[in-house]
Amino acid sequence: MHTPEHIKGIKPYVPGKPVEELEREMGITDSVKLASNENPAGPSPLAIKILCKEVPDLNRYPDGNCYYLRNALSGKLQINPEELLFGNGSNEIIELAVRTFLVAGDEAIMAHPSFVVYPMIVQAAKGRNIIVPLKNHRHDLETMASKITKKTKIIFIANPNNPTGTINTKAEMDSFMEKVPEGALVIVDEAYYEYVTAPDYADSMKYFRQDRDILILRTFSKIYGLAGLRIGYGIANASVIAEMNKVRQPFNVNSLAQKAAISALKDEKHLEKTKKINERGKKYLYDKLKSIKISYVPTEANFIYIKLKDGKAIQLYNDLLKQGVIVRPMGPSEIRVTIGLPGENRKFMDSLRKIKQIKS
């Protein structure tokens, strides 16, 4: 088989091994996974209850239009049902947007480091990635705006950004949106927006209500704890959604995911519990990292971007694995650690202290 050059050049996403397999290989038990920004509190009890009830009906295809979830979410967001698109995680919606609005030779602007899926999907569509380095760990929106040309079809902004956990403010986004011409779709990826506490966080729904060319991505994988069911959604003008629906596969969101998402939306108690766990864990990790003089980037998400010296990220990742702690290396000198439950956070810090003492 001949593989086209634009596909050959894609660096595939490398998932981590199952926890059970890592434990077997390393000869350890009771490991903690702090690598994938999952909700350590698990899914909503309401979601678990409905999943048990719905299992006997798995011989039926799911609702291809997500009718009940669409109505529940549109009511919560106070938007029209036709302004929503559901996908197999927000990843699928990114792919649908690229397949719908970008052709070979078109350009997509994005930051680096940011979500690794953006450049992969653009390259797979024969698009051209225009990469703008972060500035002080945040999207450099001024430089990104300066890169817009007639070939620009999509601009990706992760807010909060993954892997740094940083945000762009209302004023920065207002200034940026004024510079975006018609015909360029701004995709604002808000996978972690429910965790944000900063008062100057940009309100992307404002631009949506102004009928701008914007697609807002959100997910049930993070704060709602449904990562294993793969369900996300997009918010955009009905005409944008209608075009994307032309390339969407039928039955792309499974029936259990739809039912669980509806129940999770109702469970405000679980949402508030998760936020409190995250804020307490964040404060704990900040204090402990400072105490052993390890640098980090203050976060508005449920993970922390840790900066090391001398290209030691892979070495630290492997040393932590031996202690039963799984994190995510993000570069030669950076790791990302999910904020976990109190015991998980303690195990991470105890292991980090131990490794630091051995290496010093």
| Mean pLDDT value of segment 24-39 | 88
Query: How many Cα atoms occupy the beta-carbon half-sphere of 235 within 13 Å?
Result: 23
pLDDT higher than 50, residue 360: no
Indicate the helix (H) or strand (E) that contains 86.
strand 84-87
- CA nearest 189: which of 204, 209, 175? 204
Cα–Cα distance for residue pair 278/342, rounded to 1 Å: 10
Mean pLDDT of 69-89: 98
Q: How is residue 309 written in tokens?
A: 């010296």
Give the pLDDT band (50/70/90) at residue 37.
Answer: very high
- Tell me the mean pLDDT in the region 322-349: 96
Cα gap 356→319, rounded to integer Å: 10
Average pLDDT across the chain, whole number: 95
What are the sequence ranges of the domains in the chain? 16-42+269-359, 45-266
What's the pLDDT band for 237 if we cut at 50, 70, 90? very high
DSSP string, 182-246: TT-EEEEE-TTGGG---TTB--HHHHHHTT-SEEEEEESSSTT--GGG--EEEE--HHHHHHHHT
**In angstroms, rounded to a whole number, what is the distance separating the alpha carbons of residues 114 and 105?**
22
The pLDDT value given to residue 19? 78
pLDDT at 111: 98
Predicted pLDDT of residue 283: 98
Integer Cα distance of 154 and 122 in angstroms: 9
Of the chain, the percentage scoring pLDDT greater than 90 comes to 89
pLDDT above 70 for 81: yes
CATH architecture of 16-42+269-359: Alpha-Beta Complex (3.90)
Please report, rounded to a whole number, the percentage of residues in the chain having pLDDT higher than 70. 98
CATH of domain 45-266: 3.40.640.10
Among residues 191, 190, 237, which one has the least CA distance to residue 213? 237
Q: Which comes out higher in pLDDT, residue 137 or 20?
A: 137
Give the alpha-carbon dihedral of 49, 52, 57, 58, to 10 degrees: 120
Write down the pLDDT at residue 359. 62
Residue 282 clears pLDDT 50, i.e. is over it: yes
Q: Which of 142-151, 270-279, 315-324 has the lowest mean pLDDT?
A: 315-324
Q: Does 29 score more than 50 pLDDT?
A: yes
- Average pLDDT estimate for 135-159: 98
Q: Which two tokens stand for residue 237?
A: 């003008």
Question: pLDDT at position 3, please?
Answer: 79
Q: Are 85 and 97 in contact (CB under 8 A)?
A: no
Beta carbons within 8 Å of 349's beta carbon, 6+ residues apart: 284, 285, 288, 289
At residue 164, does pLDDT exceed 90? yes
Q: CB atoms < 10 A from the CB of 133, how many?
A: 10
The Cα 101–Cα 243 span in angstroms is: 9
Average pLDDT (127-154) is 98
Alpha helices in the chain (DSSP H): 5-8, 19-26, 45-54, 67-77, 89-101, 117-124, 141-146, 170-178, 204-209, 238-245, 255-266, 268-291, 313-322, 342-359
Q: Which among 279, 309, 242, 236 has a CA at the least distance from the CA of 41?
A: 279
